[in-house]
Amino acid sequence: MQDAVQSAEEYVAAVPAGHRPLFERVDRLLRTGRDDLEVDLSYGILRYRRPGSARARRPALHLGVWKHGVSLYGWSADHDGGFGARHPELLSGRGTLKLSLARAGAVSDEDLTALFAAVLDG
């Protein structure tokens, strides 16, 4: 999927139908209350970040689709709002959450929202 797309809009349009409900849930939770959030393509997946100067290091979350679900990347363990302690089974390496289609219901909207707030609103 990532080789064929050139923009965030193309990435979203290419999300497979079976992944779309989970992808849209995560995307909606990321955007809620963040009208100024910038979304672009970085390393072949979506990058969500707050606006700021080009030189400032801004926190970002990356959202990608993989064979079994969606993945989120881009935070450190000490800036996850306790998400890793509550859901260690979903973490795949440092700053990586793999949310499979089969396990999507294992994480509440509130838990995801708390993670996103810790990383993006920090």
CB contact at 8 A, 18 and 1: no
Main-chain phi, psi angles of 37, to 5 degrees: -60, 135
CB contact at 8 A, 73 and 30: no
Number of alpha carbons in the 13 Å side-chain half-sphere of residue 97: 27
Per residue in 85-110, pLDDT (tens digit) is 899 888 887 788 999 999 889 899 99
Q: Is the pTM of this model over 0.85?
A: yes
Per residue in 45-97, pLDDT (tens digit) is 999 998 874 555 678 899 999 999 999 998 877 788 889 889 988 888 778 89
Per residue in 19-44, pLDDT (tens digit) is 999 999 999 999 999 998 999 999 89
